Chain A
Amino acid sequence: MLTTPPHLTTLRPSPSTVSYTVSTASPRQTFPSQFLHYFLLLQRILLGLATLLVLYAKTSNPPSPPLAPLSEHLARFPWVQVGPLAFTSLFLVFRRFHTESLLTLRTLGIQTSTLSSSYLLPSDTRFIPTSQIRDIFIHEAFRGFEVRYYLAVVVEGEGEVVVVFPNLLPGRAIVEEVWRGARECLYEPKG
């Protein structure tokens, strides 16, 4: 649904902080895309409210006066039909674009985060202090029927590396840009 290939957004709130975000949501630079975004947001809210209303009308017994016609109408449909429909629409309402980000704070460390696919589920965030970072590198690996680039952080005392952007695995151009930026931020440029 309106997803694009993973693209990178860079934020530099201060000279020592950079946040790289990779997302499949379409970028909102132009007016039509912004309009589309808010339009879709409105649609979602309306769909969510409508679903809640239907569920309320179906469950409330006896029905409150203003909802009586709706309840009567809904009574003709069994739960087997209404339930899955409501569930699907709620799922769509709370669905989120794949978004993964890397926040680098000079002298402090880096934080990787993966937003969950739904607004209801908790997101996965991990902070790695500079003292524990051994290295950050780009390598290739087999995944499915493809060979993909990935950015990985070697953490001291751990047997496995931490893969940045583990689900989206953006292409080489993005990974290289993030790698350069992250190294620059972690290890201050010499002289």
Chain B
Amino acid sequence: MTYNIAMVSDFFFPQPGGVESHIYQLSTKLIDRGHKVVIITHAYEGRSGVRYLTNGLKVYHVPFFVIYRETTFPTVFSFFPIFRNIILREQIEIVHGHASLSSLCHEAILHARTMGLRTVFTDHSLFGFADAASILTNKLLKFTLSDVDHVIGVSHTCKENTVLRASLDPLMVSVIPNAVVAENFQPLALQNRAKTHQPISQLDARPPPPPPQRLGPEDTITIVVISRLFYNKGTDLLIAAIPRILAADSHVRFIIAGSGPKAIDLEQMLERRVLQDRVELLGPVRHEEVRDVMVRGHIYLHPSLTEAFGTVIVEAASCGLYVVCTRVGGIPEVLPPHMTTFAKPEEDDLVAATGKAISALRANRIRTEGFHDQVKKMYSWTNVAERTERVYDGITGAISEEEFYGDVSGGGWSATRGRAGVQSFALIDRLKRYYGCGIWAGKLFCLCVIIDYLLFQLLEMVFPRANIDICRNWPKKRRESRDQIDEEWDEAMPLRMARSRASSRRPGKRRF
């Protein structure tokens, strides 16, 4: 069963980041599995309109007004006409939204339900419950997630957080972690070996493990930090910890990459303590350069205060770095204990944990050589795509309810028709779901949904479906049968025609 899927998020390339690469990698792998995927995001500077990426991934950069940190202004309804147009011309069946701070994604889910499509939401971040901003975001999240078919969290912590914030039925939240492209994050030793012994390693079934690196007590240990320098990434913690770590061991160096509002604080600290020769600031690095920075170090320090998954620590471990990180959010689920040292998110503990990691490395108690292969086995995007596909199968009814949700016969309700009922697109059923959101919010949300529905009917009259061109699909990869050729694009692909002609000339293959 293949689907036409639209990934909707405010966050996409050219802006770098975890959500962005998640969407890209997931989409690519879904296309490999025979689905059709388009991405809808807002226009970035110098990038507006329709673009194709590798593998026929189509990206719609919708021109919109950006307010804060690449998030569009939440206008609720203004996105609907263009969204409907894209959905109809691409014949989308499933709308998959990403990131809870993206208003584009929330609006898309609302409109998609109005149009009678299946919706999935992936949450990439954790939120608090106490401050005003969180309360507002949570209410907004509750609004959209009142009527979503399925939710995906990137870690179990993230799932719990989302379930609490949007008061969801836990059964309709799945956990599918992020992954890394392990080939892009190879340790230095592995890559050198691959370069020098290319013919030999091809002959060998399994290349021998690289020799363990020995670190003497006098050798310099380099600690790498790659993160955007924001408050939630724990930059303040880092600023406090760096002088103490450096004071404790004179053979430690830091490499810090990334930019953000806290960069100025970091620089001030370095100047005040005169640590410029021991701490190297690289500024912003591109995602493809991250590996080259990582392999220069031995330890990766991740002082984040909140993190739903933390792809970067997987990348670091894949590069063969020992990871020191704070025990927050989904981080403890990400890596096995022998790759990490955990610290509480406070200055003293972080310094102590780093010190422990340094002495463990010096004593050669940690074998980082095997990290890459272990990570490679644990995380792959193909696996993520398979699991996401299963979610799609579950919500469209391709696999049965019992198979998808497990045995849910215990209660008087079923998971799909329960509080966040999924089956029915009827307006009255949808209104019932929204009405339960709160005394005032429930009524407000109902009003929004009704307006949305009326707007939909208006759009059907003003821009009738018949006038919307249906897009041509990118020539699909054949999943099962290799003979089945997409006839439509043959003239654009002379190579394939030549190949099929050649194969038909082969004796025994003729059919006349």
**Which of A's residues lie within 8 Å of B, judged by CB?**
5, 139-142, 145-149, 171-173
Contact = CB atoms under 8 A, between A and B. Distances in A.
Contact of B469 (A142, A145, A171): A171
7 contacts: A140-B49, A140-B50, A142-B49, A142-B62, A147-B60, A149-B469, A172-B472
A64 B62 CA distance: 65
Contacts of A145: 81-82, 85, 463
B82 A147 contact: yes
B48 interface: yes
Contacts of B463: 145-146
Main secondary structure of the interface of B (DSSP, over half): mixed
Contact of B50 (A5, A141, A172, A173): A141
A142 B467 contact: no
A171 B62 CA distance: 20
Given A140-B50, A145-B82, A147-B50, A5 B60 contact: no
B63 interface: yes
A139 B471 CA distance: 11
A138 to B, nearest CB: 10
A144 to B, nearest CB: 8
A142 B64 CA distance: 11
A10 to B, nearest CB: 19
Nearest to A174: B469
Chain B: interface residue count, which band? 10 to 19
A141 B85 CA distance: 12
A142 B48 CA distance: 9
Most buried by A among B60, B63, B89, B470: B89
Contacts of B468: 146
Interface in B76-135: 81-82, 85-86, 89
Contacts of A148: 469
Nearest to B491: A180
A142 B81 contact: no
Interface string B454-495: 000000000100011111100000000000000000000000
A87 to B, nearest CB: 31
Contacts of A171: 467, 469
Contact of A142 (B82, B470, B471, B472): B82
A139 B472 CA distance: 12
A60 to B, nearest CB: 49
A147 B467 contact: no
Interface string B371-389: 0000000000000000000
CB-based closest 8 A-B pairs: A145-B81, A172-B469, A140-B50, A171-B469, A146-B85, A141-B49, A145-B82, A147-B85
